[in-house]
């Protein structure tokens, strides 16, 4: 007796392929969204872990808040006054995040350098998983609210805003410590922004340029901004997590919020408002530490 062999017809195969393609198309956005949410959660967890070092620093330094970066003493890299401990060695003028990491035992560099101020952060805790290449300590993924919490830059021999006592902050839970930062590229229209540059020249329009500094939403013509150079655009937050920003507050809690919720305003071309007049002005309520819309400190002199 001959057994009849069965097989899919061409039409049946095409139907099966079409169904698989349809299911894949339906599932891909959900999978992509899940991956994006996972990156957002990991990013926020990393920031929270590092942020605990902020209070530890103040406890060890007579209630003084951590500066964004220590001022430069004469002699540059050859002067030990410019060397600071980062837990597993000393580092030439480390930025805020490496100092916080030292206090929580998460060291920023495998081998901290006394001569290089553009090292890449080695620990994955310092990495934002959405922009994992943004690890140069100057062109960094996270910016510090240094204008209100501790700006140790100097003009005419005077600090811009340092020291700042922690006790001056009226509400830790409502004061931004740090957040995802776009750097000085935030101050130019979106069409002018260039790709990220690690260890590159000071390109104001490159994403992440001088990202370790986070300017507050409302600036004035007489305050600091961006890299601190006279021609620098402003820095601002980077809504890289589905249009939102991972933000850590001074009490250590984290939130994922829109730039507008944090007080920023954006011009039609995508640049963040600097001193332009707009109907709905930016607000520093969540940055000032006082709970008021205070202006950032004027440059000395």
Please, what is the average pLDDT of the chain?
93
Farthest CA pair distance, the chain: 105
pLDDT at 36: 78
In which residue ranges of the chain is pLDDT below 70? 1-8, 10, 12-13, 23-34
Q: What one-character-per-residue DSSP string does the chain give?
A: -PPPP----HHHHHHHHHHHHHHHHHHHHHHHHHHHHHHHHHHHHHHHHHHHHHHHHHHHTTTBPPPSBPPPPTTGGG-GGGEEE-SSSEEES-BHHHHHHHHTT--S-SS--SS-SSPBP-SGGG--TTSTT-BBSSSBSEEE-HHHH-EEEEETTEEEE---BGGG-S-GGGSEEEEEEEEGGGGS-GGG-B---SS----TTBTTTTTTB---S---TTB--TTSSTTPPPPEE--TBTTBEEEEETTS-EEEE-HHHHT--B-TTSPBPSS---SS----TTTSSSSS-PPPPBPP-
Instruction: In whole angstroms, give the CA distance from residue 289 to residue 172.
Output: 7
How far apart (Å, rounded) are the C-alpha atoms in residues 276 and 116? 37
pTM for this model (two decimals): 0.89
Question: What is the Cα–Cα distance from 150 to 96, expressed in whole angstroms?
Answer: 10
The pLDDT score that the predictor gives to residue 11 is 72
What are the boundaries of each domain within the chain?
53-262
What confidence tens digit (pLDDT) does each residue in 52-74 have? Answer: 999 999 999 999 999 999 999 99
Which pLDDT score is estimated for 6?
60
For 217-231, what is each residue's pLDDT tens digit?
999 999 999 999 999
């Amino acid at each position: 007796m001959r057994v009849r062999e069965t097989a899919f017809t061409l039409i049946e195969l095409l139907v099966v392929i079409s169904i698989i393609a349809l299911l894949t198309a339906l599932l891909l956005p959900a999978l992509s969204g899940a991956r994006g949410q996972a990156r957002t959660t990991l990013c926020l967890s990393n920031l929270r872990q590092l942020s605990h070092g902020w209070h530890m620093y103040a406890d060890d330094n007579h209630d003084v808040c951590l500066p964004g970066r220590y001022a430069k003493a004469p002699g540059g890299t050859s002067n030990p006054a410019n060397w600071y401990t980062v837990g597993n060695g000393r580092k030439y003028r480390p930025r805020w995040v490496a100092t916080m990491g030292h206090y929580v035992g998460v060291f920023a560099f495998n081998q901290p350098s006394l001569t290089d101020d553009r090292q890449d952060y080695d620990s994955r805790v310092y990495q934002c998983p959405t922009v994992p290449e943004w690890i140069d300590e100057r062109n960094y993924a996270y910016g510090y609210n240094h204008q209100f919490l501790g700006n140790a830059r100097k003009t005419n021999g005077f600090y811009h805003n340092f020291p700042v006592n922690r006790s001056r902050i009226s509400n830790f839970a409502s004061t931004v410590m740090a957040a995802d930062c776009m750097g000085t590229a935030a101050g130019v229209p979106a069409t002018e922004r260039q790709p990220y540059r690690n260890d590159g020249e000071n390109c104001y329009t490159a994403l992440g340029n001088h990202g370790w500094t986070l300017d507050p939403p409302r600036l004035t013509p007489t305050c600091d901004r961006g890299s601190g150079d006279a021609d620098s655009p402003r820095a601002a937050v980077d809504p890289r997590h589905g249009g939102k920003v991972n933000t850590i507050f001074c009490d250590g809690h984290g939130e994922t919020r829109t730039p507008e919720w944090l007080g920023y305003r954006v011009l039609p071309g995508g640049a963040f408002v600097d001193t332009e007049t707009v109907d709905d002005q930016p607000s520093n309520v969540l940055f000032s530490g006082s709970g008021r819309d205070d202006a950032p400190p004027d440059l000395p002199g």
